[in-house]
Structure 1
Amino acid sequence: MATATGTQIAVHRTANGPVSKKIRQGAGPLTFLVTAQKGDWLKVHLPTRPNGATGWIPVEDVTLSTTPYRLVVSMDEHRLDLIEKGVRVRHYPIGVGKSTTPTPPGEYYLAELIRPPNPEGGYGPYAFGLSAHSDALTSYAGGPGQLGLHGTNRPDLIGRDVSHGCIRIANDVITELARTVPLGSPIVIQA
């Protein structure tokens, strides 16, 4: 995992190549999932469209760390697995996107952690912003259609295809995950 030392970072098309975009910090530290290193450059997943986008950032602009955690979503089983050091240590029931606004499968990461103002509201006490974006919506609730892993005020809907693409989970579970799993941790969404 790489966390920017500043509030924005220049992303390059290739290691030491031209700048393709600048990404600014959102609700928390600007964090990336590292997929490769080439000298003083890191290839990272980007929290932008299109899903799965990658780019290169200089090592000198980030602090590196590791995580023992990985999350795996099984949409057809409505289950989220918490993997620690390669071993499934917990599994939880979830709600996922409905047919008109499906949750896109792929390899993503936890990009930010938000504490909604109303912990009893629709997003629960915590919401992880994922690096994933909806393929069906270009915007949602004033944002860019970014997907989340969040709590819910409707636990009766967990176990179904009910959301606009986000992953819904019980409030006690999202609280546990927010206290345990760091930003930059991978989340794999399987169909």
Structure 2
Amino acid sequence: MSSSCGTDDPPPAAPPATSPAAPSPATPPEKIKPAPVSPAQMAKLPIATTYATLRRAPRDPRPFGTASGIIVHPKGKQVIYSRPGGPPVAVLPPTQLEDPTWVPVVQTLPGWARILLPSRPNRSTGWIHTGDGGVRTARSTHRVRVDLAARRLRLFDAGRRTGSWAVAVGTDRTPTPAGRTFLLASVSPEHPTYSPLFLALGAHSGALRTFAGGPATIALHGWPDRAAFGREVSYGCVRVPAAALRALSRVPLGTPVMITR
């Protein structure tokens, strides 16, 4: 993994009576079932990874809201929907960058969970059906907060601050994107250069489409020159001291990360 440091057409005709109708607003949430997706349909859906762009995925309605800490892992390929009972928009795979996929839940309804996604555009979300046993649910007690104005990263566990470090963040031309995201994967380079570990986030550079051959995924990673910490000097990634990287490496995947300006 490489990281970056409408038309006005007339409405369609009503479907025939034999077509499945979308749930009405009065339908109780527990009665909303996922639209059936055939294997052929699933094969045509984009895979929600850091390399993908999900043009039909809904955006996070509360990009600076507090996540609950609930995280989910798909046991197999899981269809992502635009809304409970709505059309499919992508597929969530069980692995990301060779690590198990864990994503945070930001909204729930009976049998459904709205999750943050690791793909472009930033702040993409989707709904997965949780009522069929296809996902494993856990909770992360950790939180990571990055204050861009103060150039500082703080780590919390069960509401208690366990670490605070000066860090390097993006420049005006290559800013670190703000909003809530999450720890997507832990990547150890085969031949480390400036960092032994990259903690990829579910966010991308807004200024760069690619970086070093990758999709410009934002990451938390180490940096050998301590003079960089406390400054705006990166390509968008958050450069952290060695002690911070060690502490962050123990944080579960899927843990929410809040980046504020």
- Compute the TM-score of the two structures, normalised by the length of structure 1: 0.92
Distance 2:217 2:101 in 1: 15
Identity of aligned residues (%): 33
Partner residue, 1:159: 230
**Aligned-partner Cα distance in 1 for 2:215–2:154:** 27
Q: In 2, distance between residues paired with 1:20 and 1:127?
A: 29
- Quote the offset at 1:87 in angstroms: 2.4
Residues 1:26 and 2:96 aligned together: yes
Match of 1:9 in 2: 78
Q: Which residue of 2 aligns with 1:185?
A: 255
| Shift in alpha-carbon separation, 1:149–1:65, aligned structure 2, 3 A | same
Question: Structure 1: which amino acid aligns with 2:72?
Answer: A
Q: Is the Cα contact below 8 Å between 1:51 and 1:133 reproduced in 2? A: yes
- 1:54-133 to 2 correspondences below 5 Å: 54-59=125-130, 60-119=133-192, 121-122=193-194, 124-133=195-204
Deviation at 1:53, TM superposition (A): 1.1
> Do the aligned residues in 1 keep the contact of 2:140 with 2:255 (CA within 8 Å)?
yes
Structure 1: runs of 5+ lacking an equivalent:
none
* Larger Rg over CA atoms: 2
- CA offsets per residue over residues 107-137 of structure 1, 9 Å max, x none? 1111111112234x12x12111101111101
Alpha-carbon contact 1:125-1:174 (below 8 Å) kept:
no
Query: In the alignment, what sits opposite 1:134?
Result: 205
Count of aligned pairs: 187
Give the root-mean-square deviation of aligned CA atoms. Answer: 1.4
Task: Name the SS for the 1:65 alignment partner.
Answer: strand
Distance 1:129 1:29 in 2: 13
Cα shift at 1:178: 0.4
CA offsets per residue over residues 3-42 of structure 1, 9 Å max, x none?
A: 1212x43211111322101244321111211012212211
How big is each residue's C-alpha offset from its partner over 1:79-115, in whole Å with a ceiling of 9 and x where there is no partner?
1011121222210111000111000111111111111
After superposition, give the CA deviation of every residue in 1:126-174 in whole Å (9 maximum; x if it has no partner): 1111011111011112221210011123332121111110000012321
Which residue type is aligned with residue 259 of structure 2? Answer: I
Structure 1 contact 113–178 (Cα < 8 Å) conserved: yes
TM-score w.r.t. the length of structure 2 is: 0.68
Partners of 1:46 and 1:99 lie apart in 2 by 26
